[in-house]
Structure 1
């Protein structure tokens, strides 16, 4: 098997093995780690259908994590995708009406982040062992709602780690907030910031590369890593479910081996859809990756024009996990479509930091051909929930609804009849006020916890274990800080 190495998108030419890339989280030059080459699938597509999720995860991930022993990787996968998922198939593909939904929310926190964050602690633990790191790992994380709880769940009480999560105090749903604030674990810390997700993400990225702070950590025998999708250890496990969706479509008899399919992905930080791009580069027959934005449509505008411009109003929407104007993982795509020109990428990122925008050249614009951009307004999103429920009795969350609405626009615009999978990233139980109000206005006066019970009634599905007693769990984390005080909080927690 060919050894895969990782390097920075911004010009540090030092190549590292996957264990080091996962342990570090972010390159010292501020760039993101990317594989030196995307491995090709070494088995035939027809073999995918004979594998369960764990077997497929091993088949895909071992191609990227070539320095991990098979035994360690198999053990990590086995522990990650176990009974904590409420579906034996882990990621069911269901058909309702003419649409296919890939349900990625059957993990403990009811969001797609569990697909990667269930395994990241094990990958990180192995990486620390491989690299003979004898330091406490401090996992620094920003969240727009779902990553935080999934990371906390994954790292709670993991020996030799602390997990610190920053989230926008007024930018997540009540259920998302309560999930984080009630998280138990002696090594868990949750901090609300007076700002938005971009503020939290910028603060985390800045601290991960702050030389003075890193020296203080080193003196105190500590080391930063990240559970955000800037960590390549988050991205690689997400490639798996694209192959798994394809295999399920084949088993259903709705496509034949070798047929192309589309994926429509609700997109904020660009990690989820980038995993689909990597799957395509590995050999999965993907025709179009449909990038679905909400009213924070910076990615839609970029795909249409080649101009990335975050200088715009930030909109708080009913799909808060997508309320993002700086899509970190886009940097990995830019690196790929620039011919891996790290100087060009560094220039674009410097321009984004200085001016708040940049424009890619014509050659790079041509390379965006794999993508289609669309966006949904708040009205579009609510209508999507209403229409899917009225026509199929299936309830989708607000992020999946953005994706469904954009898919309808894609069909109208392109008349493309290619089978399309809508990536369903969260359970409707996490966003009950907007979901239930879209189904029937009579639910408008009820609180989140009353609505959870009503949703269970109309779907005839038990309330998921992850939120069943959420209302009565004690709030354990009460810290709120200004966005420019994040480092002060870190220094206080770590006593440095």
Structure 2
């Protein structure tokens, strides 16, 4: 049976999975969602014996139904290969009674690799399926990790170009160095004077510009997105939650059907939404624990039912979560609104106009799957230091937010269920913040001296992704105002 996709703002029109991946964003500005969330058709006994690649096929074939078995398996094989530094792709590490699902063993040492390793292959396959002759221009805003992972995935992929916008003063030094040293004739990296929400809003405006769309088409281009607004990003993320449960079962750490908790540090809501989809597919997940940093807009929303971005934007040591407009929340809103596109559209219009919206009591009741809390900067640093002193295991700042929020949840509820924390980045990506949390004596060291110190204290090898950028030349030095994003894209494309 073919699974189709519809917009969260217009349920009347449906597209295939490959068309949704190519478009990225629906023409009405909505996000593509499946017309139904399929149930897993493989039993847990079967999944327990599968490799990551086999699990990926078992999950993704149910969402990407217009891809042939050969096409999908080819995309998976090319994505999850020696780019990852562990054979397992997403290993589970048990530390202090909690399982950390390490999602950072890919080319850019962050969880975005889990989806962005496969998205270029899905997209180029989709283009062939739909007889697209235009060059595909990937347009992406990043709060730090998506940008480099997308650049690495699309660099020199025939028939594509990629433009990444990032907040010039809103990412870690390592994150910035990874992006501005990116090779590839089809890549373009631009810093903007502003924050991530400014970059994301600018990208959405460009996507919605119908005159530009016509101009692009006449020049032989069409836009798509590598952000988590693209359903081709979300579907691969579902895989690792299914995989984690199956591996816990295979190891005898849980019984078949036993519920687990999942904790996700999130800003744009995509990673935890993937866990929600996994739960709705049949993975026994008890509670989805949404961890925020001091930009606690999601925590406030889950507690009150009011989403309000009218607040101070705080730069934290977990910059990939420094977000006040959580785009993927729209997919959840659509579902808990009973797939009422009119109601959903009204809320999104209110967010643009007033910066806030409020959900109904009925919708609030449907948020029972979720628990929200946040960690302060001091709590985040304390979590890194505390776990390191206790176990020798070093967390990055984002995973530390999730780890501290889980401890708050456990203290509040007394829930002792087996818990998986999504570990979203290598500590090497945020060395200064991590080492500062461990011991203030490291303050005077340079970023790459800190890398070597982290290697000494953790015993974890320095990832290739870090060694490659130590002495790499800066290839991208463009910085613009948010208002100039459209003209910057046109200049890059020569139109």
Secondary structure at the aligned position of 1:228 is classed as coil
Q: C-alpha separation between the residues in 1 aligned to 2:42 and 2:457?
A: 43
> How far off is 1:52 after superposition?
0.3
Does residue 209 of the first structure (1) align with residue 208 of the second (2)? yes
Question: For 1:202 and 1:318, how far apart are their aligned partners in 2?
Answer: 23
Residues 162-241 of structure 1 mapped to structure 2, 5 A cutoff? 162-241=161-240
Give the corresponding residue for 1:248.
Answer: 247
User: Given the alignment of the two structures, is residue 486 of structure 1 paired with residue 491 of structure 2, yes or no?
Assistant: no
Deviation at 1:469, TM superposition (A): 3.4
Deviations 1:165-208 (A, max 9, x none): 00000000000000000000000000000000001011111111
- Equivalent residue number for residue 440 of structure 1: 439
Matched, 1:474 2:473: yes
Q: Which moved more, 1:126-135 or 1:248-257?
A: 248-257
Residues 96-128 of structure 1 show CA distances to partners (whole Å, capped at 9, x for unaligned) of 111110000000100000000000000000110
Residue 24 (structure 1) aligned with residue 23 (structure 2):
yes
In structure 2, C-alpha distance between the alignment counterparts of 1:43 and 1:124, rounded to whole Å: 26
- Mark the runs of 5 or more structure 2 residues left unpaired by the alignment: none
| Cα distance in 2 for residues equivalent to 1:245 and 1:56 | 10
Instruction: Check the 8 A contact 1:144/1:321 in 2, yes or no.
Output: yes
Give the distance between the partners of 1:22 and 1:130, measured in 2 at CA. 12
> What secondary structure sits across from 2:368 in the alignment?
helix
Deviations 1:307-363 (A, max 9, x none): 000000000000000000000000000001010000000000000000000000000
Q: What secondary structure does 1:405 align onto? A: helix
- 1:261 paired with 2:260, answer yes
Q: Secondary structure at the match of 2:401?
A: helix
Look up the SS of the partner of 2:2 in the other structure. Answer: coil
- Listed as ranges, the matches of 1:55-74 within 5 Å are 55-74=54-73
Q: CA deviation at 1:74?
A: 0.2
Q: Is the 8 A contact 2:49 2:250 kept in 1?
A: no
C-alpha displacement at 1:251, in angstroms? Answer: 2.2
CA contact (8 A) 1:309 1:357 kept: yes
Aligned counterparts of 1:92 and 1:471: Cα–Cα separation in 2: 27
TM-score (norm 1): 0.99
Per-residue CA distance 1:262-283 (angstroms, 9 max, x = gap): 1000010000000000001100
Greater displacement, 230-239 / 36-45: 36-45
Structure 1 match to 2:47? 48
Shift of 1:12: 5.1
In structure 1, the residue matched to 2:366 is 367
Distance 2:253 2:444 in 1: 42
Distance 1:12 1:195 in 2: 34
Note the alpha carbon deviations across 1:224-276, whole angstroms, 9 max, x for none.
00000000000000000001110121122211111000100001000000000
> Is the CA contact (8 Å cut-off) linking 1:141 and 1:226 kept in structure 2?
yes
Alignment partners' CA distance in 2, 1:272 and 1:80: 19
**2:286 equivalent to 1:287:** yes
Give the root-mean-square deviation of aligned CA atoms: 0.6
1:461 deviates by 2.0
Q: Secondary structure at the match of 2:326?
A: coil
Deviation at 1:20, TM superposition (A): 0.3
* Equivalent residue, structure 2, for 1:112: 111
Moved over 4 A (4+): none
Answer whether contact 1:139 1:227 (CA < 8 A) is retained: yes
SS at match of 1:162: strand
CA offsets per residue over residues 102-158 of structure 1, 9 Å max, x none? Answer: 000000100000000000000000110010000000000000000000000000000
Answer whether contact 1:12 1:29 (CA < 8 A) is retained. no
Conserved 8 A contact 2:288-2:369: yes
SS at match of 1:133: coil
**CA distance in structure 2 between the partners assigned to 1:12 and 1:93 by the alignment:** 39
Measured after TM superposition, the shift of residue 43 of structure 1 is: 1.4
Q: Hey, what's the Cα distance between the residues in 1 that align with 2:411 and 2:229? A: 34
The residue aligned with 1:314 is 313
By how many angstroms is 1:418 displaced? 0.9
CA distance in 1, matches of 2:164, 2:320: 15
TM-score by length of 2: 0.99
